[in-house]
Amino acid sequence: MKHYKILLSLFLLSHLYSQEDFIDDLEYGKKLYENPRGISCKACHGDKGEGKLIATYKTRNKEKQLFAPSIRHLSYEDFAQNINSSKGVMPKYYLTEKEIEAIFKFLQSL
């Protein structure tokens, strides 16, 4: 009976460690891109990171437009640096290295 419990325990452990992740890196990156910290990257940078018009406004009687740039063709270094620094209207996200990598891989896959 003791050997049976050991074999069963070993089987359960090996089965547990052989399971694939619940979601893969690209799915994780997509979810983060759609809503990383309550503010969607997608809302400003578009479905595929292509950039888009955020707003049109008037200042000093001149109409101006605010665009979010394309982020699809950035190097990983530039991408990571821009995510965790706040410039202009870009919010600071405080993402982990793993989260940044997942979003970058997702955008590169499009």
How much is the average pLDDT of 6-23? 59
Model confidence at 40, pLDDT cuts 50, 70, 90, reads: confident
**Backbone φ and ψ of 67, nearest 5°:** -110, 145
pTM, full prediction: 0.72
Question: Judging by beta carbons within 10 Å of its beta carbon (0-12, 13-18, 19+), is residue 34 exposed, middle or buried?
Answer: middle
How much is the average pLDDT of 49-63? 93
How many distinct helices (H) and strands (E) make up the chain?
5, 2
Domains annotated on the chain, with CATH: 22-109 (1.10.760)
Among 46, 39, 43, residue whose Cα is nearest residue 95: 39
